[in-house]
Amino acid sequence: MLKNALMISLLPFAAAGCASTRNEVPIVPTTPAASVQARGETEAVGTANADAADDPAIWRNPANPAASLIVGTDKKAGLHVYDLTGKDRFFIDAGRVNNVDLKDMGEAGVIVAASDRNDPRNAKLALFRLDTATAKLIPLGTVPVGAGEAYGVCLYRTGGRLHAFNVIKDGTIRQVELDLTGPAPTGKLLRTMKLATQSEGCVADERTHRLYVGEEDAGVWRFDARADGPVAGTNIAAADTEKLIADVEGVAIATEGEGNGGYLLVSSQGDHAYAVYRLSDEAFVGRFRLTPGKFGSTEETDGIELITGDFGPDYPGGLFIAQDGYNPPKAQNFKFAAWADIKAALKLD
């Protein structure tokens, strides 16, 4: 969670002080952040008075975008399924699951994978099928993925196969091919990559076969997502105290146009903002915050998600979701913003 928090007066909790940060030297980024207001939010997670909500994943209903669903983690308890009104439609007790991702695998259904850290010494993937008609999660089983504490996870489809990248807390990244054809899911370790320090958020761009991983104190790294690709990564967005402030947590992509068009969004948790980079050349294009409005602001954001496309009149062009680490008087939750609002605030094409 937050290790390098800023004491910035514009944030609603700064005046009250935070016991873990009040003696720290403020880090004020030199690059301003545009303001965007949330258009919706979920009901709070069930675990109160704790750092509990963590990461969202979005299923877009192509036939009825307003009936799309969000899966969100309560990392102390399990997984919630929300609708676009924010209503909590379903909860499953899965214990300590940290990050979550999902992919529509056609006949196999919408597959949900969560990083299972119930055993901090032995990482697993908890797998579910999302029943999109009832908003329920159907457990499929767990797949062991090696030693260490499971932290981040993202899914990657290639050639009709489903791969999971499981990010271990110490910076190890394991690529596992999942087999869902038997009575219980199994996994085959394809390769291992490594970052030097604690890492978590990740996202794979299936168009370009690029994997982006957040190393919390260093920034965002790009890897080749293909199983036969090189294992070395390239730091494309440093935690430089100007554009991106540690902790670097959630990462998401907005795919637009042909080829490698779109944007990479990164949770700059250290100053409660989000940095945006163009995918085509990895150039920085701006920063924004979700600021106070009808649904409140976001602070200390862990996981984020962004899916482009039609989500109905409230979310033209796409839906951005951010975990909110400070949501008094209720427990933590997830805030919704329109991708169109973010693009307008940053003057993106």
Residue 349 has a pLDDT of 83
Residue 8 has a pLDDT of 37
Residue 28 has a pLDDT of 64
Domains by residue range for the chain, with CATH: 34-346 (2.120.10.30)
Position 3 pLDDT exceeds 50: no
Position 20 pLDDT exceeds 50: no
Determine phi and psi for 207, rounding to 5 degrees: -75, -40
Q: How far apart are CA 190 and CA 158, in angstroms?
A: 13
* Bridge partners, residue 46, by sequence: none
> Would the pTM of this model clear 0.75, i.e. be above it?
yes
Query: What residue type is 271 in one-letter code?
Result: D
How far is CA 208 from each of CA 114, 132, 225, rounded to the nearest angstrom? Answer: 24, 28, 9
